[in-house]
Amino acid sequence: MAQPLHRRVGSEEIWREQLQRLLECGRLPHVRIQLVPVECEEILGATGPMTVAETPEHRMDGYIEGQGQSWVISDRKAVSEMVQRHANIRGAALSPKESARRIERLLGER
């Protein structure tokens, strides 16, 4: 589940290492990190975390987890809804460059 980046889990040192690692991963050519600003008023992805993957045969499947359970979703309509939800989240998110700047600002504030 998404958590505000300013909410620490662990010590200050661990939190800073986590943010640094996000910045490092965001520099990889196959990774895009986009933050949804806390000030975003829309309720995005309110149904919880999800993963959408494309198979080598170009079939889309979804994956969700709950408390101690997980589900692979292959129903085309359900997966289409997940893809649309993901598009809505990305539409409200900051660009990868602006997201990196926000993370860098958080690191500089403490």
Say what the pTM is.
Answer: 0.76
List C-alpha distances in Å: 55 to 33, 49, 61, 80, 109.
Answer: 22, 20, 8, 15, 42
**Where does residue 78 rank: exposed (0-12), middle (13-18), buried (19+ CB within 10 A)?**
middle
- What residue ranges do the domains of the chain occupy? 1-35+94-110, 45-93
Q: Is the pLDDT of residue 96 over 80?
A: yes
Residue 84 pLDDT level (bands cut at 50, 70, 90): very high
Structure confidence at residue 10 (pLDDT): 84
Q: Which of 89, 101, 91 is nearest to 45 (CA)?
A: 89
Q: Which of 41, 4, 35, 44 is nearest to 98 (CA)?
A: 35
Pull the structure tokens for residue 22.
Answer: 């996000």
Question: What are the tens digits of pLDDT across the range 12-52?
Answer: 899 999 999 999 999 999 999 999 888 877 666 667 788 99
What is the reported pLDDT for 9? 77
- Residue written as token pair 């539409």: 91
- Please state, in angstroms and rounded to a whole number, the distance separating the CA atoms of residues 76 and 14: 40
Q: Please tell me the predicted confidence (pLDDT) of residue 4.
A: 67
Average pLDDT on 67-85 reads 94
